[in-house]
Amino acid sequence: MTIKQIADPGHEFILPAARILMETFVELSPDSWPDMKSAESTVRECLEPGRVVLAAYDGQSLAGWTGARPQYGTTGWELHPIVVDIPYQGKGVGASLLRRLESEVKLLGGVTLFLGADDETGRTSLSGKNLYDNLWKEIDGIKNLAGHPYEFYIKNGYIIVGVIPDANGIGKPDILMAKRLL
Ligand SMILES: CC(C)(COP(=O)(O)OP(=O)(O)OC[C@H]1O[C@@H](n2cnc3c(N)ncnc32)[C@H](O)[C@@H]1OP(=O)(O)O)[C@@H](O)C(=O)NCCC(=O)NCCS
């Protein structure tokens, strides 16, 4: 597996990257990228100047990709998105992409990498509840009910720094996570 930085907005990366984005989010967040057009537009946004995009290749095949953009000067960066094509999932590609993204962001002055991991489909114990009642206790006792990716980030050194209750509709929170880049 080779990880390459993509900077050219005309790169042949765009269509395979859009396909992976659309296909991997179908179940997780059905409305995010319902078609190739919306997915392609997100890939192009990620390639705008000042942002970082990294791609993992297995030979000529794109296995996954990730991106980040500065949101607080050059210190706080948002990871958006990270996706690994279905046949390549669970083989360490995501963790490798994340490690490399952290290094690249750090080189650009980043000290915090953060992200939002939506739970729109009842995959964690934070879904389907009024989180305003008992927010921090709920976060403390979070359970992964069906392969929600927050656990992927925990395994890679991120912690939950907050939740936006009902961000995606009643009972559908966004889980905010971050890591200090040392
Ligand atoms: C989440 C994703 C990027 C992880 O990439 P990956 O290559 O499959 O993950 P890795 O093989 O590098 O896994 C690293 C560790 O995280 C764990 N992990 C990965 N995805 C997980 C999930 N959804 N739930 C729980 N644990 C997960 C792995 O089991 C592994 O644990 P280990 O170190 O104890 O063996 C990938 O599965 C994906 O694209 N999923 C669909 C899109 C998505 O959820 N993107 C993130 C949205 S916020």
- Domain range summary for the chain, segments of one domain joined by +: 1-95, 111-182
In the prediction, which pLDDT does 8 show?
83
Closest CA relative to residue 159, chosen from 125, 117, 107: 117
Closest CA relative to residue 152, chosen from 54, 24, 49, 26: 24
Identify any residues that bridge with 76 across adjacent strands, giving them in sequence order.
72, 112
Assigned superfamily of 111-182: Gcn5-related N-acetyltransferase (GNAT) (3.40.630.30)
Q: What is the pTM of this model?
A: 0.97
1-95 and 111-182 have identical folds: yes
90 Cα to the center of ligand 1, angstroms: 6
Q: Candidates 114, 152, 155, 176: which one to mutate for ligand 1, based on the most atoms within 8 Å of Cβ?
A: 152
* Domain 1-95 CATH (choose: 3.40.50.1100, 3.20.20.80, 3.40.630.30, 3.90.400.10): 3.40.630.30
174 Cα to the center of ligand 1, angstroms: 17
Residue nearest to atom 36 of ligand 1 (CA): 84
DSSP 180: E
Cα–Cα distance for residue pair 163/19, rounded to 1 Å? 29
- Minimum-distance ligand 1 atom for the alpha carbon of 117: 48
In the prediction, which pLDDT does 182 show?
84
Residue 105: partners with Cβ closer than 8 Å, 6 or more residues away: 52, 68, 77, 113, 181
In the prediction, which pLDDT does 163 show?
98
Which residues line the pocket of ligand 1, CB cutoff 6 A? 24, 28, 82-84, 89-95, 117, 144, 147, 149, 151-152, 155
In the prediction, which pLDDT does 153 show?
98
Q: What is the mean pLDDT of each run of 10 residues along the chain (182 residues)?
A: 90 94 90 93 96 97 98 98 98 98 98 97 97 96 97 98 97 98 91
Closest CA relative to residue 53, chosen from 2, 89, 3, 121: 3
Cα–Cα distance for residue pair 156/178, rounded to 1 Å? 10
